[in-house]
Chain A
Amino acid sequence: MTMLKLNSAAELEALRAKILAGRDPAKPCIAVCAGAACDGMDSAAVACAFLAEVGRQQLGERLELRTTGCHGYCERGPNVVVTPGEICYFEVAPADVPEIVAATLRGEVVERLVYHDPASGAKAVHMNEVPFYKHQTRLLIGDNPKIDPMKIDDYLAVGGYAALIKALTEMTPDQVLDEVKRANLRGRGGGGFPAGSKWETTRNAPEKIKYVIVNGHEGESAAFMDRAMLTGNPHKVLEGLIIGAYAIGAQRGFMYTRHDMPLLEKHVRNALAQAKEYGLLGENILGSGFSLEVELHFDVGIFVSGESSALMRSIEGNAPEPRPKYVRTSVSGIWDKPSNLNNVETWANVPQIISRGAEWFTSIGSEKSRGTKLISLSGNVVNSGVVEVPMGTPLRTLVFDIGGGVRDGKTLKAIHFGGAMGGSIPARLIDAPLDFDGMSKLGAPIGAGGLLLMDEDTDMVEVARYLMDFLTKESCGKCVPCREGMQQMLQTLTRLTEGRGRQGDLELLEDLVEVTGLGSLCALGKTSGDPLKSMFRYFRPEYEARISNQAANQAADQAAAGSGDTK
C-alpha cells in the first residue's frame, strides 16, 4: 500500500472520517495490555491465545483484537478490557481465552475474571465501577486501552492530531504560547516550573536555530508512568511536541528515552516514521509552512543523564556531565542553541490544552497546580499501578480508595514521594493534598510522581541508606561534594544500620547534607540529602535510637571489659 502524505488539515480530517466510517462502535473489541508489568506476567501469551482462538473460529468479522499499552491496574495483570462496556478482566491466563471469546460473542461477562472486592466479595464488572479506576480522572492515560501504539489510525480515531490542526490553522505561535501560559501548565518532571515561561524563554532567545526535547529518561526509581504514557500512546506526546515546536519556533526535536525497554523503542520509532509518512513531521507540515524533524536518542544507563544539561550533552554525543546553569538550557542548550526540554507528561498535556482551552484546564486541579497528575503507585500497597488524579486530590484517596491500603493487613507507616531525591512523610499526614508546593513544604516533593507506601515494618534508617547507595552509584563524579559527600553519608548510614552508630553521627549527617546541597552543581547533588532531611524531621527518634542503643552497648562493653581487667 502506498501511503498518502497529507497536505492539508482538510485531508487529515477526511482521513479521520474514513477511519471512523470503517469502524463499528458496536463490534466487540478485546484489548490486551502489553504494559511493562503485564508484559512481565507474559501478557504476550494471552494476546497470542486470543489471536489463535479468533483465527481458529474465523471470527475476524465479528470480533476486534487489540494489543495496547498500559491500562493502569498493573497489580492485577495481565489486564484485558472488552468494549463496548469497558468490561475489565484481571489476571487473565491463556487458558481463559476461549471462555472470554465465547462470552463476548454472546454479549455476556465471564464473572469469575472480573473484580471482586476482597472484603465483601462484591463484583465490579465495568471499568467505572472498579475501585482502582473509579476515583481517577484519566485524561492522559485513559486512551491507552483504545489504542494500539503501533497504529497511528487508532490515535486519529480518538481525535488525535486535531489539536495540531487547530494550532497550525487557527492560531499563531504567540496564541499557542499564550494558551499554555494561561493554562499554567507546570512541568511534570519534578520541578513544577511553568512550561509556558520556559517556552517563552526559548522562543525569545536570539539564536534562530532552536530545539525542543522530550525528556523520557525516567530514571527515578519506582516511577513508571512516563513509560506507560510514551509506550502506550506515543503520538499524544509527539503531537504535544510538534505544537510546542510551532509555538517556540524550533526546527528540530529530540525524544530522549531509555534504551532498555524494547517495546518503548519500537513504538516511538514507529510513531516517528508514521508521523513522517503522513506529513505530520518533516517539511511543510499539513501545508502550514511549518517544518520539524524529530529524532530519537537514548540514555545509556545513568541516572544523572535525566538532568537537563547532562541530557543535552549526551545528545551531542558527550559524557553526561551537568554544567552550571547561570545561563539556562532554554537559552543555551544542545550545541549552545536555545533548547526547550519538558518531560513526557508535560508534553502529553499540550494537545488537550489547545483543543479544550486554558479555561477548561484550569478548572481541574488545585489553585496553584492545575490539571491532573500521573502517579506510579507502588511499594507496600495493595493495588499498584499507574494512576491519574486531579492535582489537589488528598493522598488518602490515592492510598486507600485507589490503592486499597497497605498489603498483608499491615498499617501504614510512611508515604514516600519523588524517588531517591524525594522525601518520606508519616502516615498522619495522609490528608495532605497532592500539590507541587504543598508537598514540597511537607518535605516530600512530588518529583516525577513516584508514590511509595511503606508499612509498619519499614526501617527508615535502612530506607535512607538504600537511597543513598543508589545515588552514590549515579553521581557523575564532577562535583567533589556530591561524589565524596554522598560516600561519607552512605558510610555513616551503613554504620547506623549495622548497629555501629556513634555519638555525633546525626550531626555529621546534617552537616554533610547541607554542604553537599550547597556545593553541587545539579539537582542530583543538591537534593541528595532531601530524603534524610525528611527523615530527621519526622522519624528522628528512630535514628536517635540507633545511636543511644549503640552508645549504651559501648558503655556496657567497656564496663564489662573494665571489670574483666580488674579481676
Chain B
Amino acid sequence: MCEQKIDAIIEKYRGQPGSLIHALVEIQHENHWLPREVLQRLADALEVSFSQVMQIASFYKTFSLTPKGRHEVHVCSGMTCHLRGAAKLLARVEEITGLKAGETDADSRFTLETGACLGSCSIAPELIVDGKHYGRMTPDQAEAVLKSYE
C-alpha cells in the first residue's frame, strides 16, 4: 500500500480540524478506501473526535469504508443517460460482473458504481472505467470494454 503517502497527508493537516474533508478526499484518492486505523490516526492528528471523522466518512458517497476492486466501473445514471438507455447498459454490466451497484467481487477485480451526473450527457449512455469514459455504449460493447481490464 502507500503508508508513507497516507502519513504525509495526515502530517500536512496536523492540528487543522477544518481540513478534515480535504484530508479524507486526498486519502480516498490515494488509497481508494479509508481503513479504520487510518481514520483513527487522522482523528488524533487533526484533533477531532473519531465519531466526527466517521460521520463525514460515512456520509459522503465519495468515501469508501470498505476496500475497492482494482478497477472502478461506473455506469452513469443521469437523466440523459437514463433516457438514452442506461438501464439496459447497467443490466448488462451487472450480468457481466455479477455485481450490483456498490459491490466488489471476490477477486477484487471490479467495483461497480452508479451515480449522476458526469456532465458528458451528449455521449450518453456512458460507461466509465477508472476515470476513462466510454461514450454511447451499447450493452454488447460493454462486454468488450470490460474484458480489457484484468
Residues of chain A having any CB pair with chain B under 8 Å: 36-37, 39-41, 74-75, 77, 218, 220-224, 227-228, 259-262, 297-298, 300-302, 314, 316-320, 376, 378-380, 384-385, 416, 419-420, 450, 452, 454, 458, 466-467, 470, 476
Contact = CB atoms under 8 A, between A and B. Distances in A.
Contacts of A262: 131
Contacts of A466: 79, 82
A224 B79 contact: no
B119 A227 contact: yes
A378 B124 contact: yes
Contacts of A378: 79-80, 121-122, 124
Contacts of B84: 379-380
Contacts of A450: 79
Interface string B1-38: 00000000000000001111110110000000000000
A275 to B, nearest CB: 21
Contacts of B117: 220-224
Given A40-B133, A317-B17, A452-B80, A74 B122 contact: yes
A261 B19 CA distance: 21
B135 interface: yes
Contacts of B80: 222, 378-379, 384, 452
Interface residues of B, number: 37
A117 B77 CA distance: 32
A128 to B, nearest CB: 22
Interface in B34-90: 55-56, 59-63, 77-80, 82-84
22 contacts: A37-B122, A37-B123, A39-B133, A41-B133, A223-B117, A224-B120, A224-B121, A298-B22, A302-B61, A317-B19, A317-B22, A376-B121, A378-B122, A379-B79, A379-B84, A380-B84, A384-B121, A385-B122, A420-B79, A452-B80, A467-B79, A470-B116
Contacts of A317: 17-22, 56
A111 to B, nearest CB: 24
Nearest to B83: A379
A221 B61 contact: no
Contact of A319 (B59, B82, B119, B120): B59
B118 interface: yes
A275 B131 CA distance: 29
Contacts of A452: 79-80, 83
Interface of B: 17-22, 24-25, 55-56, 59-63, 77-80, 82-84, 115-124, 126, 131, 133-135
The list of the 4 closest CB pairs from A to B, nearest first, reads A74-B122, A224-B119, A40-B133, A301-B61
Indicate the member of B84, B120, B124 with the most A CB atoms within 10 Å. B120
Contacts of A316: 18
Contacts of B83: 379-380, 452, 454, 458
Contacts of A300: 21, 24-25, 60-63
Indicate the member of B79, B80, B135 with the most A CB atoms within 10 Å. B79
B25 A75 contact: no
Contacts of B82: 466
A72 to B, nearest CB: 10
Contacts of A220: 117
A260 B116 CA distance: 11
Contacts of B120: 36-37, 39-40, 74, 224
Nearest to B119: A224
A412 to B, nearest CB: 13
Indicate the member of B78, B80, B134 with the most A CB atoms within 10 Å. B80
Contacts of B21: 297-298, 300, 314, 317
Given A37-B135, A262-B131, A222 B18 contact: no
Nearest to A319: B59
Contacts of B79: 221-222, 378-379, 416, 419-420, 450, 452, 466-467
Contacts of B121: 37, 74, 222, 224, 376, 378, 384
Given A37-B135, A378-B79, A458-B83, 18 more contacts: A37-B123, A74-B121, A75-B122, A220-B117, A222-B80, A223-B117, A224-B117, A261-B118, A261-B119, A262-B131, A314-B21, A317-B21, A320-B59, A378-B122, A380-B83, A380-B84, A420-B79, A476-B59
B122 A301 contact: no
Given A259-B25, A317-B19, A301 B116 contact: no
A221 B81 CA distance: 10
A227 B116 CA distance: 14
B54 to A, nearest CB: 11
Nearest to B21: A317
Given A74-B122, A300-B61, A221 B116 contact: yes
Nearest to B136: A41
A260 B118 contact: yes
Nearest to B124: A378
Contacts of B60: 300-302
